[in-house]
């Protein structure tokens, strides 16, 4: 069965610095990988996905993620953090076309310090 | 498109009462998912539908919970009778086959 891990409950970054939110996954087949963001009192919002192709995926709000098959990771990155990036971030995985469900990580709270 | 629509946005009810949450998915999406989010348990998948048919309800906590999808544009999640431990934010999400899910704004349920 597929699983996803977000090893950090919280990440603190100074505004203007690069940020990384970590995600590792486990699937038996080809992974479909996703990042979502949740702002307070809002639903989850899709940021980006990796299905196939280029390992570096670009998404909304200047975020990008790098798929690393050998390390089974899909870390979320942004070159320069904004205070408005402060939110809860979820990594999710789907086992290619074998399963309809997306498995979500427990989330990482990102704090951008002014 | 207006996105996924959920109603009500907030619901406060007394223990033992019936609660019905409603969801309108994005037009053209063939999958609909119901999730529950709490601080303690995080985001939990309760049930999902494909083409209006329930596919997996293994996440439904107990028989007090039921969900229906009578047509492609409407789904309900019902709790009867409600209990304080059901207090949570309930999300509906929809997707087109194999692709990302789009979430509604959620219903914040408080059972006193």
Q: What are the pLDDT digits (tens) for A52-67?
A: 889 999 999 999 999 9
Would you call A50 an interface residue with chain B, using a CB distance cutoff of 8 Å?
Answer: no
Contact B82, B18 (CB under 8 A): yes
- Structure-token match 């999300």, residue found: B91
- Dump pLDDT digits (tens) for B16-31: 999 999 999 999 999 9
pLDDT at A38: 96
Question: Residue A96 — pLDDT band, cuts 50, 70, 90?
Answer: low
Specify which residues B44 forms β-bridges with.
Answer: B36
pLDDT at residue A7 is higher than 80:
yes
Q: How far is residue A91 from each of residues A18, A36, A94, B7, B43, measured CA to CA in Å? A: 19, 6, 11, 27, 12
pLDDT at A99: 65
Instruction: Categorize the per-residue pLDDT at B2 as very low, low, confident or very high, splitting at 50, 70 and 90.
Output: confident
Structure tokens at B106: 């959620």
Q: Do B98 and A42 touch (CB under 8 A)?
A: no
Interface test with A, best of B44, B47, B100, B102 (most A CBs within 10 A): B100
> Is-contact A92 A104, C-beta < 8 A?
yes
Q: How far is B17 from chain A (nearest CA, A)?
A: 25
| Interchain contact, B98 vs A94, CB within 8 Å | yes
Residue with tokens 């969801």: B23
pLDDT at B15 (0 to 100): 97
pLDDT at A98 over 70: no
Q: Which residues pair with B21 in a beta bridge?
A: B77
What's the confidence (pLDDT) of residue B98? 67
- List of residues 6+ apart from A92 with CB closer than 8 A: A4, A33, A34, A35, A36, A102, A103, A104, A105
- In the numeric block, which tokens belong to residue A108? 């990482």
* Higher-pLDDT residue of B2, A26: A26
């Amino acid at each position: 069965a597929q699983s996803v891990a977000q090893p950090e409950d919280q990440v603190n970054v100074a505004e203007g610095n690069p940020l990384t939110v970590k995600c590792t996954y486990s699937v038996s087949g080809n992974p479909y990988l996703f990042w979502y963001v949740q702002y307070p009192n809002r639903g989850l919002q899709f940021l980006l996905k990796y299905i196939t192709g280029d390992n570096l995926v670009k998404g909304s709000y200047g975020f990008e993620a790098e798929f690393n098959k050998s390390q089974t990771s899909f870390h979320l990155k942004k070159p320069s953090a904004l205070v408005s990036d402060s939110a809860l971030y979820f990594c999710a995985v789907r086992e290619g076309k074998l399963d309809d469900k997306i498995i979500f990580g427990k989330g990482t709270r990102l704090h951008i310090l002014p | 498109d207006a996105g996924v629509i959920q109603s009500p946005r907030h619901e406060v009810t007394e223990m033992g009462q019936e609660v019905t949450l409603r969801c309108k998915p994005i037009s053209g999406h063939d999958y609909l998912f119901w999730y529950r989010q709490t601080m303690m348990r995080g985001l939990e998948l309760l049930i999902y539908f494909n083409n209006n048919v329930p596919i997996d309800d293994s996440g439904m906590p107990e028989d007090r919970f039921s969900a229906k999808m009578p047509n492609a544009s409407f789904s309900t999640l019902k709790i009867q009778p409600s209990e304080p431990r059901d207090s949570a934010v309930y999300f509906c999400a929809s997707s087109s086959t194999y692709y990302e899910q789009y979430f509604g704004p959620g219903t914040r349920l408080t059972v006193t």
